[in-house]
Chains A and B, each alone.
Chain A
Amino acid sequence: MSDPRAIQKKVCMLGGFSVGKTSLVKRFVTGQFSEKYHTTIGVKIDQKSLCVDATEMLLVLWDVYGEDDFQKVRASYLQGSAGYLLVIDGTREDTLEVAHQLRALAIQSMGPVPYALVINKSDLREAWQVDPEMYKDLASNACLVLETSAKTGEGVELAFAELAKQLLNG
């Protein structure tokens, strides 16, 4: 077994306010730090080791506080990321617009790195306000498009694992 810390990748969680980024991370890892970091310095970092194609790797997840009217995402937090998860709340159309803005910021800060487009809250599918047509622009450049539910766990592991695979092979 190779050292799980031999390969490490910084991955940012990007998305509008309350789209479920933190919940997705909580589904994926057992966090060590308090959630209050979000509201203090605007980011909370967790890690998760994965095995991708027989290669152990460590994902360092930067759960960046969601952009809203009161707080802007700090571009400096995005620098050096190997990839990111762009999260949309399926039940809120306005999160699409934020996602577009964040993608632009990501390109500016990180360059053309792989990203997974995640439409969260699939457990509330009947209440969804977005459809594939609405986010086709975002999906066209994403390495992966997945519908997830942080509540049920649907697609969560897969989203991270597939992005990790892309990061490893890319």
Chain B
Amino acid sequence: MASPSRPPLDPSRLSVKETKGFSHLRQLLLAPEQSELERLKNRLDHYILEPSDVGRVLPDAIRLRAQQDSRLLSSMIPITQEALSLSIKQSPQLISDSIAPILGPAIRKAITRAMRGMVQSLNQTLEYSMSWKGLQWRWEAFRTGKSFAEVVLLHTLRFRVEQVFLIHKKTGILLNHVVADGISGQGEEVISGMLTAIQDFVRDSFGQKQDDSLESLRIGDLTVWIEQGSGAILAGVIRGAPPTELREVFQETLETIHAQFSELLQTFKGDVTSFEETCLPLEDCLQAQFEKKSKGLPFFFWVLIGLLLLGLGVWAVQARSNQQQWTQLLERISQEPGLVVTSVEEQGSESIFYGLRDPLARNPEQILLEAGYSPKQAVFRLKPFMDLTPEFVQRRAHRVLQPPNSADLRWETTHLSVVGHAPRAWITKANLLGPLLPGLMSFDTNGMAGTEDMERFDTLRARLEKLSVNFLVGGSALTVGEKTIISKISEAFESLDKQALLLGLNPQVQVLGFTDSRGTRDANLELSTARAENVVDALPINSFRALKIEAIGKGVSISAEIGGLPIGGRRAVIRVVRPQGNLLESPK
């Protein structure tokens, strides 16, 4: 018998006991699945997106969304900008460190380029500012209102790349554009388009193939060189006549850009910001070359050289003259008696003289001054010595002996005689010092007389010359009365003779006879002679050893005086003529 079918089990109608049993049974049968189900249910009920989950899918999600459209990019721009701004505010050093490796070389390169341009411009300006041409250009600058540097540039420019365009080949859109210093761009985007259009036009009109293209345009002194790449065109606007090597620079630059930006060029959709980094290679194309001055050096340079040469000539002449003067001075110092220069050392502006100097020699500084030099220009380091040349022996003798004016030093090579008269004390001192004088072999004062003895001789002579013998008219005989006078005269002669002997003199004594004016000349001469002879005869002349006495008739007397007395008339007078010997010779 078939068992009746049972209704499905309804857990809600189970008793407590049954429920427990049911749960137990379910747990036995479905425990693993149940716990898994509960875990999943729990996760769904309390779903929290785990970062790890997002992290897994985020890169792919961003890539896929970015491929779809640019909305994600647009959404991220403000967030990125804000994040970047905040980051810079909070840790500027971090940003600085991050971009330094990029900015550093770029800044250095930019500064180098700017400095190079500035130096070149400065060089140009300086080079021409001193020339005759430079003056003409200054006038031109003044006339045209342009700056001098600009005029120099225009005249000396061989070529200069003023602008470089990097153009997207397919669209004609300007990807980047750089200009030289002092050049201002205008409507580059449109120029870029027009350049592309012109190329298309020329190619369509004249080109045989698609690859054919316009390579250069020229108007006035401006040339546009166009280099074609697969994705971009490089056009350089050049003033002047560029060298063919520049074309290679353009080509290399374009190749470099293609190598770096190939993919961007292929997928270009109008966003030119990606091509900002092409600035550096493009700026390398901004080359310039200026004419070297071939026509010699500037006018003012020659003037300057002329002045310099003139100055040099004057200096050389002056130097030569100075040298000559200096040589003459050296010679003069060397030849100066009592100075011996052994060496001269130059120390800066100072000359040091080494050598010997006799104390009696001239001060060399005085010689320096006389030659027009400052004493500061020379230092004399001279050791004392004794010069034994005759000149210095004599100087030394004069200095040591200090002879009075009445004494004369007489030299015979190395022998010194002193003649004249001097006080006896001096003669005594001279006799002591003279033989000791260096350079002298012998010395004597034999020719010297004591001044006191000379005075005595003079006194006696004066006394003798005051005496006279009178005669009668026409007579020559001695009268009785006059014999007394003869006696006095004889005594005076004797005294003078003794003094002359003492002094070593042989004075000549003249007895002069005179007449009055009466009678003939011959008779008077004869009478006067007789009168003189009679007087001499009356004297004991043989007893006089030094005196040399002679009688002289003088005829009619003239108005003259001997020994302070008038001579003339009928008389005989005595005159002591120059003494024989050295002592009474006129002193110095």
Contact = CB atoms under 8 A, between A and B. Distances in A.
Contacts of B272: 5-8
A57 B193 contact: no
A14 interface: no
A76 B187 contact: no
A28 interface: no
A80 B270 CA distance: 10
A8 B173 contact: yes
A140 interface: no
Nearest to B192: A60
Interface in A22-55: 32-33, 37, 41-43, 45-47, 55
B522 interface: no
B170 A62 contact: no
A14 to B, nearest CB: 15
Interface in A77-104: 77, 79-82
Interface residues of A, number: 30
A80 B200 contact: no
Contacts of B168: 80
B189 interface: yes
Given A7-B272, A8-B272, A74 B187 contact: no
Nearest to B71: A169
B270 A9 contact: yes
Contacts of B201: 41-43, 74
Nearest to B201: A41
A60 B189 contact: yes
A46 B197 CA distance: 12
A42 B69 CA distance: 36
B209 to A, nearest CB: 13
A10 B272 CA distance: 13
A130 interface: no
A47 B187 contact: yes
A58 interface: yes
B197 A8 contact: no
Contact of A45 (B74, B170, B197, B203): B197
Interface residues of B, number: 27
A60 B192 CA distance: 10
B174 interface: yes
Contacts of A62: 172, 193, 197
A41 B197 contact: yes
B321 interface: no
B171 A10 contact: yes
A170 to B, nearest CB: 9
A6 to B, nearest CB: 5
Given A60-B173, A76-B204, A46 B270 contact: no
Contact of A32 (B69, B169, B170, B187): B187
A32 B187 CA distance: 8
Most chain A C-beta atoms within 10 Å of own C-beta, residue among B69, B173, B272: B173
A5 B173 CA distance: 10
A3 interface: yes
B270 A7 contact: yes
B269 interface: yes
Contacts of A47: 187, 189-190, 193
B194 interface: yes
B273 interface: yes
A53 B269 CA distance: 18
B195 to A, nearest CB: 10
Given A41-B201, A169-B69, A8 B190 contact: no
B271 interface: yes
Most chain A C-beta atoms within 10 Å of own C-beta, residue among B169, B200, B273: B200
Contacts of A80: 168-173
Most chain B C-beta atoms within 10 Å of own C-beta, residue among A33, A58, A60: A60
Interface string B123-160: 00000000000000000000000000000000000000
Contacts of B83: none
Contacts of B198: 41
Contacts of A32: 187, 190
Nearest to B271: A7
Contacts of B69: 169
Given A8-B174, A82-B270, A60 B187 contact: no
Interface of B: 69-70, 74, 168-174, 187, 189-190, 192-194, 197-198, 200-201, 203-204, 269-273
Interface of A: 3, 5-10, 32-33, 37, 41-43, 45-47, 55, 57-58, 60, 62, 74, 76-77, 79-82, 167, 169
20 contacts: A5-B174, A7-B272, A10-B171, A10-B193, A32-B190, A37-B194, A41-B197, A42-B201, A45-B172, A45-B194, A55-B74, A60-B171, A60-B189, A62-B197, A76-B200, A76-B203, A77-B200, A80-B170, A80-B171, A169-B70
Give the 8 A-B residue pairs with the shortest CB-CB distance, closest first.
Answer: A80-B171, A80-B170, A45-B193, A76-B200, A41-B201, A10-B171, A8-B173, A43-B197
Given A42-B201, A45-B190, A60-B171, 8 more contacts: A6-B271, A6-B272, A42-B197, A45-B197, A74-B201, A80-B169, A80-B170, A81-B171
